[in-house]
Structure 1
Amino acid sequence: MKGVRFLLIGIECSRNKGTAAILKSTVQTLKNYFENALFKAVTPWPNRDKLNCKGIEFSDDLLSKLRLFKIRKESDDFDIVIDLHGDTISEDYGILTVFGFFYNIVSYKLLAKKAYVIYAQSLGPFNNPISRLLAKFCLNKVDLLIIREKITENYLKMLGIRNYFLGADPAFLLKTASKENIKEILKNEDIRASQGSIIGINVSQHIYDLLKDAGRHMDYIMMNAKLIDKLIETYDVNILLIPHVLNNVHDDYSIAKKVYSKIKNKNLVNVIEGDYTPEEVKGIIGLCDLFIGARMHAVIASTSQCIPSVGIAYSHKMHGIIGELLGLDEYIIDIDDLNYDILHEKTMKAWENRERIKKHLEKVIPEVKRKALKNGELVRELCDSLKIT
């Protein structure tokens, strides 16, 4: 029997482990509610992405076909659009991203006349009058609006948007690679298991670039190197530098190598070299006793395993999800406040309180995962109401 045909937009499934985690977890959640469902994802690199996401068809040119007289014919290939852009419907990435959202709504909703779902996203801010107008127009057109934190809720209220649901990021549901798989990765990486504790650190090219605009990019490299040496000298820990995005534009690996080059105690530091699936990266993060992350989904990978974590925030999503939803706001550092002293202070505080933080996460994470599963239930209810079967 033919199932519902989902078109997934706004993601990639290979080099960005965060968006890959969103995609994989969303598909798995929807499969729980839709028997025989079919999934097609629009990504920039379909040939590469299909190697990492089995069971999903990939395309890179659907929108180019969905034009004018062709649009109705091509839209017969799917029943409903699931928008997984995460946080890019916002002025944080420039006003053009809001125009991109408008283009998607016009193409998929108004011309193709398909059901359109905003799936567990962080939206806003919308400070420009034009972006506010476009955002309000588009958000009033969607069939189901699911957000993932309360700061977005405030932005929606400012726009006069009332019809939404508060869910949770789907990546909290991402499965972890097996212990045997992780052991094999450590062997391939030539990382020897140690009796000591492990602190994982994810440094970000995006944070580096944002600080570069302010002339502070080398400070970012040096503060992380200095922190690592301090942690090793104080606690005799092992350090894992774990990239979470690997591409030519935002390459965490290159920043990790810059940090590594400035570290004195290199014998207790390893940089993860390989390009692994999000499940495998989550498994590597799962080895850590403490995690410091500049990518939000790297921190979701840690906190979903109840690992005490410190997050570096460049937008409201880290504050809203890790800070407010998980109750770890005292361990979030805003990029505007980022310097060695505060990074050192928050990290040492998290280390000293790691058992208390772990117990706290063990209490809150099950409810967050239930909220993430609820996303799929809401899509099921929408399809039933629209008779999409």
Structure 2
Amino acid sequence: MLTIALILHSASNDNMGVGALSASEVTILRRIAKSRNISINIKIIQGFAKRPPYVTGEDVEIRPTRPLRKPLDFFSAIGDSDMVIDIGGGDSFADIYGRRRLTQMFLMKYLTHLARKPLVLAPQTFGPFKHRLSTFLARQTIRLSAITATRDSMSTTCLRDMGIKGDIIEASDVALRLPYDLPPARGKGGAVRVGINVSGLLMSGGYTRNNMFGLQMDYPQLMRDILQRFADHPDPCEVHLVPHVISWQRGALEDDYAASVRLSEEFPFVTVAPAFTSPSEAKSYIAGMDFFMGARMHACIAAFSSGVPVVPMAYSRKFAGLFGALGYNETVDCTTQSADDILTRIFDAYGRRAELAQAQKTAFETGLEKLGHYEKALGDLMERLAKRS
């Protein structure tokens, strides 16, 4: 039995994007184990959570811990594992989210090295690292890792610029593998279903509440302008506000659901999607849209990987890095473009939905091919470790 610990994943995060990474990683591990006849046990090491886990199964164990408060407890949690997979929350292995989060990430990585467990850096965004110490520590832990996989060319370039000379697998986002239910068949005609993800984080101005990400426009006003444009559009539109961070804590800064409800009070013609209980449930809902846009990257990946034409609304370089690496170039950049430019791009894309769908199909196939390189390397490592155990 091969025991695989997942760190900086989560089986019960309010952010369905982090959950999508975790559910997809488990799906990939199960596919590899089945194809290579390896028995596995998956241990998800995460913080304490009130939300029930949505990544479950006989082969899954949830192990709560607080690494910063009790590092020895984390060390004990990985002690009986054969390997550790770290996905960095998708994009948190960087300076941009603050010192506390990065300190925890370094602590967990270095304790894994200390325990002499092979560390797999699963496909994620690396950087930017702006400070000398964080750059040094990142470079050292990457050099000690068994597998390093990026999900975009920008991250690969970042690592090379840091001096990483070893093998780097440029893959894609594991959430391309997230399972979902196909939407019911619909007849031709009828209103166009438009899905819009409203980011509660950006509506609040970021964690600092002071335009933390340096947006070039008033994001709340941009969302109101988009809704008004669809309200006035000559095509009959059925607009759905689709949250992808759904907090169990009232008044949470990041809560997309609460932000969507507040907007629906101003625009009563919209439909607010349910408070999803799992990433796959969210993706199944998004799959029923005819057009989608949003500032939560994994809400956009859910659309992209289920065949829905999508305009990602970037607040960091991870968006353009991921979608651009696949040849899908419909991302708008809220940090460099004006509100007028973004509105023009969105409604131009809306009019080219059929063209976007074809580009999306080709890009998705490219993404799965790139992801396959990570899956092969991961499978080879699992096979070698299984033979030893």
Give TM class, smaller chain.
0.7 to 0.9
2:198 counterpart of 1:197 = no
2:66 counterpart of 1:67 = no
Structure 1 residue 271: Cα displacement: 0.7
1:92 is matched with 96
Per-residue deviation, residues 279-321 of structure 1 (Å, max 9, x unmatched): 1211111111110111000010001122211111122110111
Show the 5 A alignment for 1:275-314.
275-314=276-315
Structure 1 residue 96: Cα displacement: 3.7
Tell me if the contact between 1:225 and 1:260 (Cα under 8 Å) persists in the aligned partners. no
**Distance (whole Å) between structure 2 residues aligned to residue 53 and residue 349 of structure 1:** 42
Tell me if the contact between 2:242 and 2:272 (Cα under 8 Å) persists in the aligned partners. yes
Structure 1 residue 343: Cα displacement: 2.6
Show the 5 A alignment for 1:345-384.
345-384=344-383
2:156 counterpart of 1:153 = yes
Using structure 1 for the length normalisation, give the TM-score.
0.87
Structure 1 residue 373: Cα displacement: 3.7
**Distance (whole Å) between structure 2 residues aligned to residue 294 and residue 82 of structure 1:** 27
2:140 is matched with 137
Per-residue deviation, residues 134-158 of structure 1 (Å, max 9, x unmatched): 1111111111101110000111011
**Distance (whole Å) between structure 1 residues aligned to residue 299 and residue 77 of structure 2:** 36
2:254 counterpart of 1:250 = yes
**Distance (whole Å) between structure 2 residues aligned to residue 321 and residue 74 of structure 1:** 32
Tell me if the contact between 2:316 and 2:335 (Cα under 8 Å) persists in the aligned partners. no
What SS class does the counterpart of residue 51 from structure 2 fall into? Answer: helix
**Distance (whole Å) between structure 1 residues aligned to residue 333 and residue 216 of structure 2:** 15
- Cα 1:274–1:214 change in 2 (3 A) is closer
What SS class does the counterpart of residue 42 from structure 1 fall into? Answer: strand
What SS class does the counterpart of residue 43 from structure 2 fall into? Answer: strand
Q: Percent identity?
A: 24
Per-residue deviation, residues 195-234 of structure 1 (Å, max 9, x unmatched): 2111100011222234641498993223212211212321
Structure 1 residue 246: Cα displacement: 1.2
1:168 is matched with 172
1:27 is matched with 26
Tell me if the contact between 2:309 and 2:356 (Cα under 8 Å) persists in the aligned partners. yes
2:76 counterpart of 1:78 = no
Tell me if the contact between 1:173 and 1:372 (Cα under 8 Å) persists in the aligned partners. no
**Unaligned ranges ≥5, structure 1:** 184-192
- Cα 1:239–1:75 change in 2 (3 A) is closer
| Greater displacement, 299-308 / 96-105 | 96-105
Alignment partner for residue 51 of structure 2, among 39, 42, 48?
48
Structure 1 residue 76: Cα displacement: 3.9
Aligned residue identity for 1:28 = T
Aligned residue identity for 1:48 = R
What SS class does the counterpart of residue 253 from structure 1 fall into? Answer: helix
**Unaligned ranges ≥5, structure 2:** none
Q: Give RMSD over aligned pairs.
A: 2.7
Using structure 2 for the length normalisation, give the TM-score.
0.87
What SS class does the counterpart of residue 336 from structure 1 fall into? Answer: coil
**Distance (whole Å) between structure 2 residues aligned to residue 153 and residue 368 of structure 1:** 16
Count the aligned residue pairs.
369
Tell me if the contact between 2:328 and 2:359 (Cα under 8 Å) persists in the aligned partners. no
Structure 1 residue 258: Cα displacement: 2.6
2:238 counterpart of 1:238 = yes
More helix by share: 1
Aligned residue identity for 2:307 = C
- Cα 1:121–1:51 change in 2 (3 A) is closer
**Distance (whole Å) between structure 2 residues aligned to residue 107 and residue 25 of structure 1:** 25
Tell me if the contact between 2:197 and 2:243 (Cα under 8 Å) persists in the aligned partners. yes
2:352 counterpart of 1:320 = no
Tell me if the contact between 1:200 and 1:285 (Cα under 8 Å) persists in the aligned partners. yes
**Distance (whole Å) between structure 2 residues aligned to residue 309 and residue 88 of structure 1:** 24
Structure 1 residue 375: Cα displacement: 2.1
What SS class does the counterpart of residue 93 from structure 1 fall into? Answer: coil
2:2 counterpart of 1:4 = yes
What SS class does the counterpart of residue 218 from structure 2 fall into? Answer: helix
**Distance (whole Å) between structure 2 residues aligned to residue 321 and residue 218 of structure 1:** 23
Alignment partner for residue 213 of structure 1, among 210, 216, 240?
210
**Distance (whole Å) between structure 1 residues aligned to residue 109 and residue 284 of structure 2:** 37
**Distance (whole Å) between structure 2 residues aligned to residue 371 and residue 21 of structure 1:** 18
- Cα 1:230–1:160 change in 2 (3 A) is same
2:113 is matched with 109
**Distance (whole Å) between structure 1 residues aligned to residue 211 and residue 120 of structure 2:** 37
| Greater displacement, 161-170 / 370-379 | 370-379
**Distance (whole Å) between structure 1 residues aligned to residue 98 and residue 359 of structure 2:** 36
